[in-house]
Amino acid sequence: MPHPTAEYDAAWARFQALDRLILGPETLESVWAHGRERYAALLIPVDDPATVAHIHSVIGQLVDIPGVEPYPELHWHITVKGIGFVADPATGADEVSPVDLETVSRLAADVLASQPPFEVRAGRVNAFAEVVLLEVWDGGRVRELNTRLLEAAPGIIRQPFDGPRFLPHISVARFSSNEGLPRLKAVLAELRQSDPGPSFAVSHVDLVSAHLSAAAPTLERLHRYELFR
């Protein structure tokens, strides 16, 4: 599966054309304030020391920009598949019951057990309207995992950005205001010309339950799936 370079470039062009950002209260996290407490997802934790140091260096260039709020280190990850809000009973289109979550967990175990480890590189700085991010250069493997999970679990919630449009990334900061947008665009454009980050090996995927906190969702690991060796 080819690396989606053109799609990252298109995302960058869209960000450069923005005249306003999507702020924290307008994102997925705001939904937690309306009675839902847990969101389940499959993700790859980013804890490789060299990659962590690289992300810290990127964030160091952003901390003084008004309206930019870096995510804490424990939040850094690559999402493989969002599963949904955990609710009992699950009544919303974006909700999953504990029983259905167990079913997804078993299906994910089957899919991931047949997938070999792979290399990921923290690529260029980029941004969506909601977050500052690092591109994920992996030869298309994370997108492939997302697609395989969709195929293996027909009842799993499907997002517009899943499957062929899935664009893996590492979110490193969110936004609290539009005050610093012109400066943010300039700083990110300069950072985008810098060398990409280091590579690291992906040998497992975690099923997590995300709980909202004042700073960022805290992630509770429910299960770890080792990739086939």
Backbone phi, then psi, for 39, in 5-degree steps? -130, 125
Q: What is the pLDDT of residues 59-70, one digit of tens each?
A: 999 999 999 999
Instruction: Supply the pLDDT for residue 92.
Output: 87
Which burial class, exposed, middle or buried, applies to 229 when counting CB atoms under 10 A from its CB (0-12, 13-18, 19+)?
exposed
Q: What is the pLDDT of residues 140-164, one digit of tens each?
A: 999 999 999 999 998 899 999 999 9
Give percent of the chain above pLDDT 70.
Answer: 91
Residues 25-51 have a mean pLDDT of 78
User: Is 94 a residue whose pLDDT tops 90?
Assistant: no
Residues 75-79 have a mean pLDDT of 95
The three-class DSSP label of residue 208 is: strand
The three-class DSSP label of residue 84 is: strand
Q: Report how far residue 216's alpha carbon sits from residue 208's, in angstroms, rounded to the nearest whole number.
A: 14
| pLDDT tier for residue 33 given thresholds of 50, 70 and 90 | very low
User: Is 2 a residue whose pLDDT tops 60?
Assistant: no
Q: Find out whether the peptide bond into 25 is cis, omega within 30 degrees of 0.
A: no
- What amino acid is encoded at 167 in this protein? L
List of domains in the chain? 5-223 (3.90.1140.10)
State the Cα torsion 105-110-112-116 to the nearest 10°.
170
The three-class DSSP label of residue 223 is: strand
Q: 45-54, 80-89, 205-214: which has the minimum mean pLDDT?
A: 205-214
Instruction: Supply the pLDDT for residue 216.
Output: 61
- Cβ neighbours of residue 152 closer than 8 Å, sequence gap 6 or more: 107, 108, 110, 111
Q: Report how far residue 46's alpha carbon sits from residue 222's, in angstroms, rounded to the nearest whole number.
A: 17
Residues 83-112 have a mean pLDDT of 93
Instruction: Supply the pLDDT for residue 51.
Output: 98
User: Is 113 a residue whose pLDDT tops 90?
Assistant: yes
Strand partners, 199: 121
Strand partners, 132: 127, 173
User: Is 26 a residue whose pLDDT tops 70?
Assistant: no
Place of tokens 């901390």: 63
pTM here is 0.93
Q: Report how far residue 161's alpha carbon sits from residue 158's, in angstroms, rounded to the nearest whole number.
A: 8
CA–CA distance from 148 to each of 97, 172, 213 (Å)?
A: 22, 27, 31
Instruction: Supply the pLDDT for residue 212.
Output: 65
User: Is 31 a residue whose pLDDT tops 70?
Assistant: no
User: Is 215 a residue whose pLDDT tops 60?
Assistant: no
Find, among 53, 95, 58, the residue nearest to 198 by Cα: 53
